[in-house]
């Protein structure tokens, strides 16, 4: 089964291909008339739907997969949340992490969680979406070279390594995106 993944992010594409074993994950970038939509929703689910719909308008004949995910830090009132990828003015992973660590300087409560909404739209307009959450805490240094985004500053509950230090298979088995994608896979497998 072929699935078009509605993301221009190469890190996410690699993760999706790893998790959706047995499926052929195609990048939306191979569709030349695809334009990344404005992510103007106010929740992860809404933004994942915006991305999936934008992709399904150009794909038409294959199911599309999209996700929206981010880091939620209760001590920061839920920030960066849906703004995770656009948290700093620069919008790079490095600048986003630096801003987060600066804001958490001296803050006692380091608890945080990653949340992901993953959605699939099928050619007949049918939609399924699932949510995944990965609880943990923010440390005050950056560790590890795997992963991307906030992975190097996030230690998931039950581990001492950051998400960027864990092997990909381990990360995918516990991560927010891995959980949401896994739920989608079990849903489409059941219905086939």
Only segment of 13-21, 37-45, 75-83, 84-92 that touches a copy of itself (CB under 8 A):
37-45
Residues 114-133 binding a copy of itself (CB under 8 A) are: 119, 124-131
71 forms bridges with which residues in the sheet? Answer: 114
Nearest CB to a copy of itself, comparing residues 10 and 43? 43
**Residue 185 contacts a copy of itself per CB under 8 A:** no
**Residue 60 contacts a copy of itself per CB under 8 A:** no
**Residue 58 contacts a copy of itself per CB under 8 A:** no
Among 9, 17, 27, 46, binds a copy of itself (CB under 8 A): 46
**Residue 55 contacts a copy of itself per CB under 8 A:** no
The one catalytic residue among 68, 93, 124, 157: 68
- Separation CA 66–CA 45 (nearest Å): 10
CB 29 within 8 A of CB 65: no
Q: How many residues bind a copy of itself (CB under 8 A)?
A: 20
CB 127 within 8 A of CB 119: yes
Nearest CB to a copy of itself, comparing residues 126 and 173? 126
**Residue 191 contacts a copy of itself per CB under 8 A:** yes
- What does the chain come to in residues? 192
- Separation CA 179–CA 167 (nearest Å): 16
Beta-carbon contacts of residue 116 (< 8 Å; ≥ 6 apart): 44, 67, 68, 69, 131, 132, 133, 175, 176, 177, 179, 180
**Residue 53 contacts a copy of itself per CB under 8 A:** yes
Start-end of H helices in 69-192:
93-103, 168-174, 176-190
Among 61, 102, 190, 192, binds a copy of itself (CB under 8 A): 190
Q: Please give the C-alpha separations between residue 116 and each of 3, 67, 172, in angstroms, as whole numbers.
A: 19, 7, 13
157 is catalytic: no
CA Rg value for the chain = 16
Residue carrying structure tokens 């291909």? 17
Residues 69-108 binding a copy of itself (CB under 8 A) are: none
Q: Which residues make up the interface to a copy of itself (CB under 8 A)?
A: 40-41, 43, 45-46, 49-50, 53, 119, 124-131, 183, 190-191
Q: List active site positions.
A: 68
């Amino acid at each position: 089964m072929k699935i078009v993944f509605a993301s221009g992010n190469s890190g996410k594409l690699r993760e999706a291909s790893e998790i959706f074993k047995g499926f052929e994950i195609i990048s939306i970038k191979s569709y030349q008339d695809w334009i990344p939509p404005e992510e103007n929703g106010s929740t992860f689910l809404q933004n994942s739907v915006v991305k999936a719909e934008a992709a399904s308008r150009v794909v038409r004949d294959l199911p599309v997969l999209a996700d929206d995910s981010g880091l939620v830090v209760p001590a920061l009132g839920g920030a960066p949340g849906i703004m995770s990828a656009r948290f700093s003015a620069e919008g790079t992973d490095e600048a986003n992490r630096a801003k987060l660590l600066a804001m958490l300087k001296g803050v006692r409560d380091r608890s945080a969680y990653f949340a992901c909404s993953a959605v699939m739209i099928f050619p007949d307009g049918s939609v399924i979406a699932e949510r995944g959450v990965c609880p943990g805490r923010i440390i005050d240094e950056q560790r590890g070279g795997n992963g991307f985004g906030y992975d190097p500053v996030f230690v998931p509950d039950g581990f001492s390594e950051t998400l960027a230090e864990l092997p990909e298979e381990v990360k995918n088995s516990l991560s927010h995106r891995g959980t949401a994608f896994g739920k989608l896979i079990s849903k489409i497998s059941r219905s086939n």
